[in-house]
């Protein structure tokens, strides 16, 4: 399902700004915000490289921030906005946090766990279910990711030719 409300666009723009910040630090440009009652309670951007932490995905960082702010590891009545379809690890954390709604921009055909590779939110046997909306600002998020990886490929090619 794809919604395109002003509210969804606003919060996804904030997530895109966080994704751009991640890119400035050499990280894959993914950003996320946790929203409760129309207020941002958690923010995150990808940091696995700089933090030397394979779990430091934008979604995890945003949920940690929200959990700290709310003083609760459960995040009921919250929506998570993220610029890229979550992976299996992040969907697991989203389930454990009891996020009510997930909104993501770009699909991830290599590791996406919301329909691209596997669809864990649709798995009836799991004990938590959430609403999933996709495609909000997908062209912007996709362009940011494509630009990042193109720059990385070009840098790799230059390094090979210099050596």
Give the active site residues: 59
Phi, psi of 80 (to 5 degrees): -105, 120
Q: Which burial class, exposed, middle or buried, applies to 153 when counting CB atoms under 10 A from its CB (0-12, 13-18, 19+)?
A: exposed
Instruction: Give the separation between CA 153 and CA 117, rounded to whole angstroms.
Output: 24
Report the candidate in 2, 24, 5 with the shortest Cα–Cα distance to residue 13. 5
Kindly state the greatest CA–CA separation across the chain: 54
Q: How far apart are CA 116 and CA 7, in angstroms?
A: 25
């Amino acid at each position: 399902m794809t919604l395109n409300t002003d509210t969804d666009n606003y919060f996804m723009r904030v997530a895109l700004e966080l994704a751009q910040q991640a890119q400035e630090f050499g990280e894959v440009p993914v950003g996320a915000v946790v929203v409760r009652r129309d207020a941002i309670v958690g923010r995150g951007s990808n940091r696995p490289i700089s933090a030397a932490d394979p779990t430091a995905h934008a979604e995890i960082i945003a949920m940690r921030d929200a959990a700290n702010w709310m003083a609760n590891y459960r995040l009921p009545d919250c929506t998570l906005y993220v610029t890229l379809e979550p992976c299996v690890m992040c969907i697991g954390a989203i389930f454990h946090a009891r996020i009510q709604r997930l909104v993501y921009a770009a699909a991830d055909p290599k590791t996406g766990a919301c329909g691209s590779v596997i669809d864990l939110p649709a798995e009836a046997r799991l004990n938590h279910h959430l609403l999933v909306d996709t495609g909000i600002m997908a062209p912007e998020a996709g362009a940011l990711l494509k630009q990042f990886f193109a720059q990385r490929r070009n840098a790799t090619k230059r390094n090979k030719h210099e050596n």
